[in-house]
Structure formats: structure tokens, C-alpha cells
Amino acid sequence: MHITGGRHFLQIPGPTNVPDRVLRAMAAPTIDHRGPEFAELTKAVLAALGPVFGTSGPVVIYPSSGTGAWEAALVNTLSPGDRVLMSETGHFSTLWSELAGRLGLQVEVIPGDWRHGADPAEIGRRLAADRENTIKAVCVVHNETSTGVTSRVPDVRAAIDEAGHPALLLVDTISSLASIDYRHDEWGVDVTVAGSQKGLILPPGLGFNAVSEKAFAASRSAGLPRSYWDWAPMIEANARGFFPYTPGTNLLYGLREACAMLAEEGLPRVFARHQRHAAATRAAVRAWGLEVLCADEREHSGSLTAVLLPDGYDADEVRRVILEKFDMSLGAGLGRLAGKIFRIGHLGHFNDLTLAGTLGGVQMGLQLAGVPIKPGGVEAALEHLREAAS
Amino acid sequence: MHITGGRHFLQIPGPTNVPDRVLRAMAAPTIDHRGPEFAELTKAVLAALGPVFGTSGPVVIYPSSGTGAWEAALVNTLSPGDRVLMSETGHFSTLWSELAGRLGLQVEVIPGDWRHGADPAEIGRRLAADRENTIKAVCVVHNETSTGVTSRVPDVRAAIDEAGHPALLLVDTISSLASIDYRHDEWGVDVTVAGSQKGLILPPGLGFNAVSEKAFAASRSAGLPRSYWDWAPMIEANARGFFPYTPGTNLLYGLREACAMLAEEGLPRVFARHQRHAAATRAAVRAWGLEVLCADEREHSGSLTAVLLPDGYDADEVRRVILEKFDMSLGAGLGRLAGKIFRIGHLGHFNDLTLAGTLGGVQMGLQLAGVPIKPGGVEAALEHLREAAS
Amino acid sequence: MHITGGRHFLQIPGPTNVPDRVLRAMAAPTIDHRGPEFAELTKAVLAALGPVFGTSGPVVIYPSSGTGAWEAALVNTLSPGDRVLMSETGHFSTLWSELAGRLGLQVEVIPGDWRHGADPAEIGRRLAADRENTIKAVCVVHNETSTGVTSRVPDVRAAIDEAGHPALLLVDTISSLASIDYRHDEWGVDVTVAGSQKGLILPPGLGFNAVSEKAFAASRSAGLPRSYWDWAPMIEANARGFFPYTPGTNLLYGLREACAMLAEEGLPRVFARHQRHAAATRAAVRAWGLEVLCADEREHSGSLTAVLLPDGYDADEVRRVILEKFDMSLGAGLGRLAGKIFRIGHLGHFNDLTLAGTLGGVQMGLQLAGVPIKPGGVEAALEHLREAAS
Amino acid sequence: MHITGGRHFLQIPGPTNVPDRVLRAMAAPTIDHRGPEFAELTKAVLAALGPVFGTSGPVVIYPSSGTGAWEAALVNTLSPGDRVLMSETGHFSTLWSELAGRLGLQVEVIPGDWRHGADPAEIGRRLAADRENTIKAVCVVHNETSTGVTSRVPDVRAAIDEAGHPALLLVDTISSLASIDYRHDEWGVDVTVAGSQKGLILPPGLGFNAVSEKAFAASRSAGLPRSYWDWAPMIEANARGFFPYTPGTNLLYGLREACAMLAEEGLPRVFARHQRHAAATRAAVRAWGLEVLCADEREHSGSLTAVLLPDGYDADEVRRVILEKFDMSLGAGLGRLAGKIFRIGHLGHFNDLTLAGTLGGVQMGLQLAGVPIKPGGVEAALEHLREAAS
């Protein structure tokens, strides 16, 4: 480990910095998962999660990564050979498509340039063309972690409605939940997929599905084999405060504490904070004379910002210099973006001064790595933050 | 929560008491799961796990419960409609059978009385009768957590070999690994299923599969749909120190520490300690004039002891009294044993004096609940422990 | 470190086992000791301490051991050459006398046999004989940690009153506070000396003085040089929520949590629990045929029990065996009792089952060390606990 | 508590940010302070402390604040009425002088303007004039925490030597030890006073005295009454791994870990890091057009920087704005500097990016509070850091 004094800056777009309040909560002794104290924990956690997802329906918690929650959303609602419509927004939407294919689904992907969100108009066109309703689900990644682009879920919903199509709407909020405004019920989402390790300010290890009535109804006839991911026994046992198999007790302690912290700050303030940091970061990037990857002003992510390097410069070399000299981890370009971008995570347990430190490190690292930038990026960001604070 | 001063006695047969060394290790900040420090962590953990499973082959780690690891063992090795031979040893073998059925396998269960382990002779007979090798896997629960009976896995292996049958041998060691002597390679097991929350002295949240070469070969043609549980990308990524999706970082910190503690004590001493505590517990039960559920002297569990109550007495009432009066959690009778037995967990982070406290609480609780017992159970256990210590 | 699996049994009469709730509270980040959040912490802690000492007057908190609090009690109230009357109850009363002598006080010690508490009648006689009131303070150790004898403070107070003597009453409650019934105001104590590491279930590092009005008045003219220990600036700064020098922030976090735990259980129940465990321990000792050191039935300690060994047996050898074989620390005989006794601490974060484990270890250790005992000690203790629970 | 998301910035000049490695180490269970495991801890800690103080002689550890260690240095070496020569460098040198007076010493203070360190020439003159060697000790604060000025201890030593005067040299390193180059033996210091809560990256609660042979010899005849602070029993007990009274066990765990972290980074790199951050901070202050309080280029502190505000601006208002808007604590002006300065702590567990965040917050806060500054302070600091990193 490189030693520089002080705390490591973990500014990848997740897993994020876990507050020590949460880490301490997780360090409590494990309790009997069949006892009365556990039932209280379960009920408290489930009650606190509803507002975070924006739902009054069930939220299912798995001991799993977010990838597991992707799989759960599909195996509970679909049958072998079902058609699903996916939008290529980047590396993670592609992984989800591939996962769907491996499960035996017939995946139709709307191609994308990795600089835009899902295209509601095109989704609408595909559905409208699907006269026989063979498309069973539309899958969208709300915030594409590999690109820093946020898809406009309400517009996707409107497109589906306009097409009058019965397909389910499945949305991945792994890097947006509790960071970017999101409303499962209000936006008519059928399954919301999430994970613990981003805006929920927990370590990785929990996956989530928020489930609409329509999705739950679909699960009754869905034919993909499932057991671990099956919603029904989960929802049934949860009602009594328990789980059908041993849950991740200590992560649930952490989740209770994380939800308490989100409630103390208030979700609207949490969302505003993320937007402020994203805007300040873009101010810095533009002052440096660099380009933000996201190409649509309506779709900038509140969670992370992907920075395009000029041709001939290696983003991984910039990241290497920053890790070595300033003990900060940034996100790499993934898939086709490898080496071309780096990603600044500004989500989770994060504030104005941490952002100032983060951008200070990026600026110095760009310079040390020989990337030609204009001065003044950090100052531009500070100006933005100062105005927001006044 | 009932308040009695002092520390809760968590003497269910898992999740077990997590050492505070492990809890503190888990409370470290989350790190970049794609960075060099993480790769070192992965490699250290995998190297330490091999001896625990008794294997030089790959061990796959899932963010999941043990139930997930059951599912993983099946979906990686089998195809829809495959026949599997399972032995009814208790509640958990039954759950595994049901899970297999839900995945679309054809499950053949050798019935049992929940007081014995899997019957090697009967397994041999079934395999010998299967002339066309339609049985693809034999599944055995090494230590049946619901009954305190340990199946004789080497004898099962010998029966398979004697029958000259090519079926895979899948073994659940969820409540035996790192508590009861177990040897994946030496005993010719093809998939060993395990979880973090018992002998591995961690909170729940990690599932494991140790994989033989034969099992891995079978996975290449196995037809059950799989993605999250797929071994191949895991093993490939692990070789470089990484995972195909976000792993449970903080539980891995804990796993590294737990493996270090097991290595410090030494597995042979760990096993001997569990046998000593099991024998002392049986000495107490018999001195009280009660019956141990396990009916075969060769099959007593080192991890837990299930105690049969005389007719007309409610084991759950005994447990309730003990929880209320002495702040100790014991395991309930599950399934058909509900109310008839209680289970004393004596596995994991546990020592002679903790056993003395545990048995003291059981003895007082039995008396307070009005169960007719003879005095002297604790003294009998202490005598056993003292002789072992001398 | 000897490795036996499981948690070390720390059954010395303090420092005691710190609850992990308290340890986790202490692990929070240090905060600005001059900021508003700190002022709230101070006020909360001071408000919670009053009931623990049984006082509505000031309680001063030092970053120090209990020894520092002894020194503070003396230097705040006395002048060089002042006479103080002390009662030899054991090793710790002797250390306090010696400390007083080193500070330049004239110490008069009433001799004792280390098996009884302070003698109220003799104190009364000495004071009555002191016609010119040259004795300025009477010092008593409430619970003598080296012997397990609790002095009868209300009787000492009565003796002083009967003699009509103006001497201050200074009481050491280091191993009794929050374990044995104690009432600073009601009993007319002038300075109560305490430490964090026993009944207050904290690590060592904080010393306390509860101060009566009479004692505070005396401090205005007391001539011993003092600065660090000076009450006046402490009490003045505390009123605003601060300290005259940097306080032990993280121990104060722990203190807040420890006071909350004491309040949850309720002091009367805390005291009753300690009495129950002390009585059960004596039942065990007597069943073994051994002798409790404390020779007066009115003076048995609720915090610890000192056990006398028969002539020719070495108590330190018994302790060594118990530490090596059962990973339990017991208290040694101190001073003139070295080798003759061992001390069982049953105070602080402790419950019935922990006592059962503790006594189980003592019984086995006595046997292994070859001390001739009768069987049945643990059973006798369990019988006592069971009756108390019914 | 103001809620802004993210971690509080504790940038007072101590207590400093405690690394979570150290907090976790402190959260281990308390152990028997008379047992063999404790003796190993003591010896390990004492061995690690020597290099930190730059001494091969004894270092005494008190459960106390740094103020206690001030008192200890005086009561061990001096007698009532002894003359001591002190240099007024700021608020803390003044407090130490006052403490000395309260102990009955005759204190002679060389006045100062709170912008310079101790004046070696004047000290030399005073000693030279003291023909009868009535001055028994020279006391100097190495780094004056209230002003950010570091006195030149080697020059003070040289002045004493030149005067041929036998006075002891007592040096307070509370805010310099393990941050600013310091060498007890090489510089001929007789008593070094320190505390745990600054460069030693621990919570407050431990005080230290490093003791020269000459100082220890002086302690044999020193006449101030003492017991708690007495070196002799400490040094004697420490040799066996123990303490004469209950030590602060859990802080010692933390100290062992903190010393390990300092050794991993290496003291020379630790010192260089602090100098780099101090220089970068001055670059920012000057770019803003503000004045650093320290008036001598040779005496800038590596631990903190005090910033003078223009007339008419209230430094406490700036601090209030920064705390409220950016959740950062800065040091207030103390004593005669109240309201005129604020102090930026850049010591302890701290790195380049944390400094960037800190200075970002200061810059924005100054602007929001209406203090007229020039832009570019943060950029100036970043430029300094970048050059140092290249």
C-alpha cells in the first residue's frame, strides 16, 4: 500500500466511502435470525427502505451483489425464450443484456453510443411495432455507472404508455438510488434493481428488488427456474420479520443506520447535494478544457462524472499517477472506453470539502501525467460550491 | 430486548458468535475492488481457504447465503430433468431437495427418520440399480443442522466407488466446515457447499463452492441456466485477484482474519475442541436423564447437540424461559421436530467456560420450565472437560 | 497468547469486561473539544453521572486512573501537615495511606486484619478523642478490591456525627460504584473517589470526584499545591460544557453509552444482580469446602469474592493453571495476601451464565491444581441462581 | 449537528483526526493489566516510543492530558520556591507559567509578542546574569499551538551551554512530537512533555515525559510533593512491563498501532509531509493577500498555520460560517488573539487531498464571511503540492 499519511480517497463510482457510523453499526454481534429482536430489525429496515425507493410496495433484500438483483428481476418475471428490450447505454447495460441471454431470454438491444441514455422514442417505436406483445419487459439502466449518463425513466414510462404496450419496466438503480431522484411507484416502474454499496453508503453484499403489483402478478406465471431469488417466500417471511434463508445480519444493521442517516439529511437534500457536486465537477472539467463524456445536458449523472481525455493520452496512466502520488482511486474506462476516460465518483458519503480534495487531486494528476489542461478547474468548482452555499 | 447485564449467549447452531477480532477487521473502510490492494486480499483469502476445505482446487466465494451455494452447486453441474439422489437426514436436507425440485431436477429422496445420517449402503444400492447411470449427482448434508447428526461422507464415497457409478458427489458442509473434520480432496467430493456464518466465525453473507476437476468438467456441459452462480468467470477472474461482479469486500476482510485465527489455533485442535464440547454436552444431557436425538454413536455432531424432551413437554417453552431468564438463544426444533427438541450450538468461537455457562443455562431453564431432570448434568460436563484438560 | 477458541474470561475485579456497545461508541471520530457538539456531550454525561453517584452536586472527571482521583480528593481539601484518619482494610487502603503520606499529610491508620471493613466504632473513638479537631478528614475504602470486603459507610457517617466531629468524609468507590448500592448525598459523603474501569464498564482512563458543598468550601482554603487536579476551574468550565484542559473525548463517548446501559437496566437491578452473583459465588466456595476471606456477613462484597486456600496450597499456581487451561484471568492475592487467596471478579458487564462459566473454570482449576475440594460448587451456585430467577 | 453529508473536517490543531486503524485497535477488549499479555504490550509500546522522542532513555506514560505531563515535568524536578525561566510565546506557554506558579514555583517570564518563538539570546543573557544558579529550569514550548510558531530548541540548548548554566531544559512538544523534527537526546533536553492527541494520532488521554539522566537525578532531591506523577515507581514498574497504577489499556493499544503507522511511513517522511503542507498553506494564505501570524521565517510551524485577519473582520465569524456551511472545525484565536486569527491544523493523519479540501473550505468561508481576499489561494497551494509530488 502506498503510504501518504491521511485517509485514502475512494472516488470510484462505488463501492463508496462507508460512514464510520455505519461501519460501527455493522460491528455489533450477530444475533439469532429467528428471534424476536431480529424481527424488529427486519421490520424497521423494510419500513425505512420504502421511502428510499419511493414505493409503498414490497422491497426484497438479497444477500448478493447488484448483479444478483439483476438476475432476480428477470427470473421472477420472465419465462425461457421471452423477448426483452434493452438499451445499450454502456458497459453495465451490456452486462445485463448478456446476463439475460445466458438465462435463456431473447434479448433485443437498442444500440447506443455510450454517451446518451436510453432513447424513449426508439423504445416507443419498438414497442409500437410489437403488435403481438411478444416483448415482455423493457430494461433500462437509470444511471449508467460506466458513462455517467442518467436515463430519463419517466420519459421511458411515457413511451411505453403511449405505445399502449403491456411490457414490464425493469430499472437498474444500482448507482442512482439514494443519490439521484428516483420514484418507483410514481414513475410506474415494475422492478427496481439496486445494491447496497453506492448511495446506500454500505459495503457491497446486499441486492434489492422493489416489486410492483404487476410484476408480482407476473411472477406467478413466470417460468424461469428459480429458488434463491424467488420473491414469494421472501415477501411472505418478511411480513413476519424473517427471511426464508439466513440473511446478511450485520449488513442489515448497517442498512438500518444508513437509512437513518439518509432520513436525517432528508432525501431532497441528498439529491440536491449530489446535483451540486456533479455541476461543480463539470465546471472544473470544462475549465480544464476537457470534455465530459455525457453528451446530453438533460442526462448528466449526479453520481459520477466521466472525463474524456484528448486523443493520445491514456486515462489509466492518469489514474495510476493519481493513485501513486495522491492515494486516490478513480474509476477506469470500461469496455470500449478503456483508457479513453476516467470516472470521478461523487456519490454517497461525500461533501463539498471532499469534492475540493478530489478535484485538487485530479487537477494535479492530470498535470503530472502531462495532459494539457488549462488552470483554474478547482477554482471554478469552488466558485460553484460557494455560490450554492450562500 | 431483555436486559440481564452481560453478553448475550448466542448458542443456536449458527450464525455463531463472531470474534471481535473479526468484527473489527470487517469495520475497515471499503476499498476499490478493482485495485491492486484488493487483488492481494483476494489471493490471500483464497490461499487461506484451501486448507480449510482440504482442497488444492478452486474455491468459489459468492455474496450469498449458504442456500445460494446449494443452488450454485446444482446449476453448475446439472441439466434440466437430471436425476439427483438425496438422503433425507432432516430439515435442511429436505430444503435442499425442494430447491433442487424447483430448479427442474428430478429428485429421488432416500427417506430417513431424522435421527441418522445418510445411509451409505442404501446409496450404494440405488446407484448399483441405476444401470444406465441416469443419476447424475448424489447430494449429502455432512452435518444436518436440524438434528445434530453427521453423515459419514467417506463411507458414502466408498459406496459410490463400489457401485462403480459416475455420479458426482455434492456435500453440504454449512454447519461442519471448520468445526468437524472434513477433506474435500481426500474424500473425493466433487462440490463442497459452505457458508460463512458457522465454523468460519463470520456473519452470514458469503457462500462457498469447492470444486473438483470432475465437477468443473461437468459444468461445461451442464444445461441449467446460470449467470450469477457461474463458476467459470469466477475462477478466471479470481486467478487475477478479482471477481466478475462486486464482491462482499468487508466480509472478505473478516474472512481473512477468521482464516488467520483458525490457522493460529490449528485445524486439528479446532476439530478436537468441537468433539470435546460435543462429548461434554452429551455427558450433561445423559446425566439429566434426557435423550440425545442422534441415534448412532458414529454420527454425533461436533457442532451441535439436539436434545429430545420427554413426551408432554414443549421444547419451545424451555427455549422461551431460557431466553427470558438467562438471555441465551438456543435452536428450535424445525419441521417435524418442532416443539420436540431444542438444539445447543457449541460451534465456532467457543471454549470450555462458555460451554459451562451454556449448559448451566440449559439446566436451570429445564428446571424452571418444569421438565423433570436429574441433577448433575453440568457437573458431568465439567468432569469431562477437566479430564480433557489434564 | 494461549489459544483455546472463544472469548477470554476477564474475571479479575477490574478492569472489567467492556460491553461492545461501549467499545463501539468509543471508536467514533474524535471531535473538537471546544465546539458545540462537545458541549452537548459534556452536559449529557454529567447529567447521567449524578444518579450513578447518588448526588445532585458536581462530579469532576479527570483523564486519569483512580489513583489520580485519590490524589485529587486529598489535594483539593487538605493542607500540608493536616491529619487524616484512615482505616487499614487491605492493599488499596494501604496504598491510599502511603499516597497521602507522600503528599505531606500526617496519616493516622487504624490497623485491620484485611478480613473486615473499616470499624465505625473505632473511628468514632478516635474522633471523640480528637478534642481540638486536628483530624481534617476520614478516609474509607467502600469496597476493598484486595479482599472483597465492603465497609459500612452509613455507619461510619453515623460515628462521625455522633462524635460531633467536623472532619470531611472521603470515600473510595473505585470497585463499588455502579455495582454496590452507594449514595453520596444521602450518606453525607464529602468526596467520592471513583474510576471508569469497574462498575462503569469502561476501559481505564477516567477518574472521578463527586464533591459535597462542604468539601468544595474546604477546597477554597486547602493549602496543598494543585493545578491539574483543581476542582474550581473544572466545575466552572463544566457548567458551559467544557474542560480547562483537553478531556479524554473518546472515553467520554464510552461513558455516555455506559450510563445509558446502566439506566436501561436500572441501578436497583444492577445492584441486585451483583448481590445475586456474590451470593451464588459464596455458595460455590462453601460447597467446595473453602473459606471466603471476608469475615463479617454484613460486609461481603457484591463486586468480587476472595477465596482463601488451605495452608500449603499456592493460589498463584491455581490462577496459572486456570489461565493456561481455561483462558480465564482471576485476581491475585496482593501484599500480605499474595499466594494465599485468589479473587473472583463478578462485577460490571456480567450475567448468570458468565458466572456459571467462571465458577466452572474455578472448580476445574482447583481440581487440576490439586487443591482438595468437595464436588458440587457449581451446582450450588446454579441452584442459587435458579431460585433467584424463579 | 449540522448535516452536510460526508465526513467532518477536524482541522483544529489537535486533537487531530484519528485513523480508523487506531480507533479499531482501541476497540479491542480490555485485558488484565497484571498479566503476561499486558507486559508484552507495555514493552512493545515503550520500545516504539523511544525513536519517536529521539531518546534511548525512559519515556513515562500517564493516563492524563498534556497538562498533566506539564505538571509531572515540574513536580519531579523542582522544589517549592525554585526559580524557573519561561518564555512567553503564546497562550499555552502562559498557561504553563501559571501552572508552575500554582505549584509554588517562582516563575520568571521573558515577555513575547506571540509572533515569535523563545529568544535564545535573551535566555542566555538571563542565565548568564544568574551567577548563583538560582534558576533551576528553563521551560520552552517547542511548537506554540496558539500561534503556529516553532521555537528553535537547539539554539536554546546552545545558549544554556554558552552561559555554562546547570539549569534543566524542559520542552513542551505537545503539538510538535511526531509532526516536526525533534530529538530529545541529541538536543540535550532534560524533560520532553507530550500528549497523545496531536502528531501521535490518538484520542486525548495519555501524557508523556521523556526523562534525561540529569532530570532523573534531579528528581531524587526535588521537593515538590508528588505521588501520581512520580517517575521512579513508573520507571521501575515499566521495566517489568507494568505500571504502578491502572494504565489506560485501550489507549495503549491505540498507541502501539499509531507507532506502527509512524514507523511504516518513516519519521523523516512524516516530518517532510508536515513541512510540505505548512508551506502549501502559507502559499495559499499569501495568495489570498492575508498575513501568517508567525513573523520569523525560521519559525513557521509544520503543524498549524495561524492566519491574521484584516482589522475589522472577526475570525470567529469566519470559523462559524465554515463550520455551518462546510462542516469544518478550525482553531480559534486564544487569549489576546481571540477574534483576530484563526488556526488551520494540518498535522497528524492528513494528506495532500485533505489539505486541498481544507483550504477549499477556508477560501470559500472567507469569501462568504465577506473578508476581502484575492482569488487563487487554493491554486497556489495545489501548485506547491504538485511540484513537491513531481
Residue A142 lies in a domain: yes
Radius of gyration of chain B (CA): 21
Residue A1 in any domain: the answer is no
The answer to whether B27 contacts chain D (CB < 8 Å) is yes
Residues D336, D273 within the same domain:
yes
Residues C325-364: tens digit of each pLDDT: 999 999 999 999 999 999 999 999 999 999 999 999 999 9
Give the closest of C30, C104, C197 to D225, CB-based: C104
- Kindly state whether B179 is in contact with chain C, defined as any CB-CB distance less than 8 angstroms: no
CA diameter of chain A:
63
Amino acid, single-letter form, for residue D257:
E
Taking an 8 Å cut-off on Cβ atoms, the answer to whether A63 and B66 are in contact is: no
Residues B255, B279 share a domain: no
Kindly identify which residue of chain A lies nearest to residue D363, measuring between CA atoms: A382
- Tell me what pLDDT residue D1 has: 42
Same domain, A171 and A189: yes
pLDDT grade for A154, boundaries at 50, 70 and 90: very high
Give dist(CA D364, CA D319) in Å, integer: 11
Query: Angle at which helices C377-389 and B352-368 pack, to 10 degrees?
Result: 50
Q: Which of B10, B63, B104 sits opposite A65 (nearest CB)?
A: B63
Considering the domain architecture, whether residues D304 and D255 belong to the same structural domain is answered as no
- In the stretch 343-382 of chain B, residues with CB closer than 8 A to chain C read 349-361, 363-364, 367-368, 375-376, 378-379, 382
Of D263, D297, D326, which residue sits at a domain end? D263
Tell me the average pLDDT across A139-168. Answer: 98
Residues 6+ apart with CB under 8 A from D37: C1, D31
Nearest to D29 among B20, B27, B28 (CB): B20
- pLDDT for B261 equals 97
Q: Do C350 and B5 touch (CB under 8 A)?
A: yes
Question: Does residue D99 carry a pLDDT above 70?
Answer: yes
Q: Sort out which chain B residues have CB atoms less than 8 A from C11's CB and list them.
A: none
Domain match, A115 and A150 both: yes
Which residues are within 8 A (CB) of C213 and not within 5 positions of it... i.e. 6 or more apart?
A: C57
Helix (H, G, I), strand (E, B) or coil at C136: strand
- Do residue C386 and residue B368 have CB atoms under 8 angstroms apart? yes
Look up residue A80 and give its amino acid. P
Task: Check whether residue B321 and residue B289 sit in a common domain.
Answer: yes
Is residue C153 pLDDT above 50, yes or no? Answer: yes
Q: Over the stretch A25-52, which tens digit does the pLDDT of each residue have?
A: 999 999 999 999 999 999 999 999 999 9
Residues C97 and C154 in one domain: yes
Question: Which residues from chain A sit within 8 angstroms of residue D327, using beta carbons?
Answer: 351, 353
Whole-number pLDDT of residue A4: 72
pLDDT at residue C1, rounded to an integer: 42
Domain presence at residue A4:
no
Partner-chain residue, chosen from A10, A37, A102, that has the shortest CB–CB distance to B226: A102
The pairs formed by D332-335 with CB atoms below 8 angstroms and a separation of 24 or more are D332/C34, D333/D146, D333/D306, D334/D90, D334/D91, D334/D146, D335/D90, D335/D91, D335/D94, D335/D146
Structural domains of chain B, count: 2
CB A53 within 8 A of CB A192: yes
Q: Answer yes or no: do C102 and D245 touch at CB < 8 A.
A: no
Best of C17, C23, C24, C37 to substitute, by most chain A Cβ atoms within 10 angstroms, is: C24
Cβ of residue A227 closer than 8 Å to a chain B Cβ: yes
Q: How far apart are CA C88 and CA D164, in angstroms?
A: 51
Q: Answer yes or no: is pLDDT of C4 > 80.
A: no
Name the pLDDT band for A1 (thresholds 50, 70, 90).
very low
The partner residue sitting opposite A353, judged by closest CB among D358, D367, D385, is: D358
Residues of B within 8 A of C269 (CB-CB) are 3
Residue-level pLDDT at C27: 96
> Which ranges of chain B have pLDDT less than 50?
1-2
Interface of B with C in 268-287 (CB under 8 A): 269-270, 273
CA distance C199 to chain A (A): 22
Chain A residues inside the 8 Å CB shell of C24: 24, 27-28
Taking only the tens place, the pLDDT of each residue in C225-279 is 999 999 999 999 999 999 999 999 999 999 999 999 999 999 999 999 999 999 9
Structural domain contains residue B68: yes
CA gap D233, D109 in Å, rounded: 32
> Do D242 and D313 share a domain, yes or no?
no
Neighbours of chain C (3+ CB pairs under 8 A): A, B, D
Closest residue, chain D, to C40 (C-alpha): D1
Cβ contacts of residue A40 below 8 Å, gap of 6+? A241
Interchain CB contact of A230 with D (< 8 Å)? no
B324 reaches C (C-beta below 8 A): no
CB contact under 8 A, C325 and B6: no
Interchain contact D19–C (C-beta under 8 A): no
Domain that holds residue B119: 20-263
Handedness of CA B84, B90, B96, B98 (dihedral sign): positive
Choosing from C235, C263, C291, the residue where a domain stops is C263
Residue D73 in any domain: the answer is yes
Across the interface, whether the CB atoms of C349 and B5 are under 8 A apart is answered yes
Mean pLDDT on A248-259:
98
Q: Residue B28: which of D20, D28, D29 has the nearest Cβ?
A: D20
Cα–Cα dist C209/C199, whole Å:
15
**D24 domain residue, yes or no:** yes
**Residue A273 to residue D354, Cβ atoms within 8 A:** no
A205: left (phi over 0), alpha (psi -120 to 50) or beta: left
> D329 to chain C: nearest residue by CA?
C32
A136 falls within a domain? yes
pLDDT, averaged across chain C: 97
- Residues C115, C91: Cα–Cα separation, whole Å: 11
CB contact under 8 Å between C5 and B273, yes or no, is yes
C-alpha distance from residue B127 to each of B156, B158, B255, D7 (Å): 11, 12, 38, 62
Interface test with A, best of D267, D325, D353 (most A CBs within 10 A): D353
Residue whose C-alpha is closest to residue C146's, from C66, C206, C194, C89: C89
Is residue C276 located within the same domain as residue C333?
Answer: yes
Nearest beta carbon to residue B27 from set A23, A104, A329: A23
- Number of C/D CB contacts below 8 angstroms equals 184
Please answer yes or no on whether D227 and C102 come within 8 Å at the CB atom: yes
The domain that holds D195 is classified in CATH as 3.40.640.10
Residues C154 and C132 in one domain: yes
How far apart, in whole angstroms, are the C-alpha atoms of residue B356 and residue B261? Answer: 23
Inter-helix orientation angle B267-287/B249-265, to 10°? 80
> Of D214, D237, D263, which marks where a domain is finished?
D263
**Within this chain, do residues B106 and B121 fall inside the same structural domain, yes or no?**
yes
Chain B closest CA to C43's CA: distance in Å?
Answer: 26
CATH number at residue B316: 3.90.1150.10
pLDDT tens-digit readout, B83-101: 999 999 999 999 999 999 9
| CA C294/CA C143 separation, integer angstroms | 11
Residues C241 and C99 placed together within one structural domain of the fold: yes
What interface predicted TM-score (ipTM) does this complex get? 0.97
Closest-CA distance of chain A to residue D72, Å: 31
> Is D286 in contact with D259 (CB distance < 8 Å)?
no
* Closest-CA residue of chain C to B377: C379
Phi, psi of B195 (to 5 degrees): -135, 170
Distance CA B266, CA B274 (A): 13
Closest partner residue to A29 (CB to CB) among C20, C28, C29 is C20
Residue pLDDT, tens place only, D288-347: 999 999 999 999 999 999 999 999 999 999 999 999 999 999 999 999 999 999 999 999
Does residue C181 surpass a pLDDT of 90? yes
D27 vs B: CB within 8 A: yes
Residue A251's nearest CA partner among D338, B178, C115, B203 is B203
Q: Tell me whether residues C29 and D15 touch, CB distance under 8 A.
A: no
Q: Indicate whether A150 pLDDT > 80.
A: yes
Residue D2 included in any domain: no
Q: Number of CB pairs < 8 Å for A and D?
A: 139
Are B64 and A228 in contact (CB < 8 Å)?
A: yes
* Residue D224 with chain C: CB contacts under 8 Å: 225
Contact between chains at D24 and B28 (C-beta distance less than 8 A): yes
- C121 touches D at CB < 8 Å: no
Smallest Cβ–Cβ distance between A6 and the set D5, D350, D385 belongs to D350
Nearest residue of A to residue C23, measured between CA atoms: A24
Nearest CA in chain D to A358: D353
How far B375 CA sits from the closest chain A CA (Å)?
Answer: 29
- Determine the residue of chain C that is closest to A20 in CA distance: C28
3-state SS string for chain D: CCCCCCCCEEECCCCCCCCHHHHHHHCCCCCCCCCHHHHHHHHHHHHHHHHHHCCCCCEEEEECCHHHHHHHHHHHHCCCCCEEEEECCCHHHHHHHHHHHHCCCEEEEECCCCCCCCCHHHHHHHHHHCCCCCEEEEEEECEECCCCEECCHHHHHHHHHHHCCCCEEEEECCCCCCCCCCCCCCCCCCEEEEECCCCCCCCCCEEEEEECHHHHHHHHHCCCCCCCCCHHHHHHHHHCCCCCCCCCHHHHHHHHHHHHHHHHHCHHHHHHHHHHHHHHHHHHHHHCCCEECCCCHHHECCCEEEEECCCCCCHHHHHHHHHHHHCEEEEECCHHHCCCEEEEECCCCCCHHHHHHHHHHHHHHHHHCCCCCCCCHHHHHHHHHHHHHC
CA–CA dist C330, C305 (Å, integer): 11
The phi and psi torsions of C150 (rounded to 5 degrees) equal -105, 120
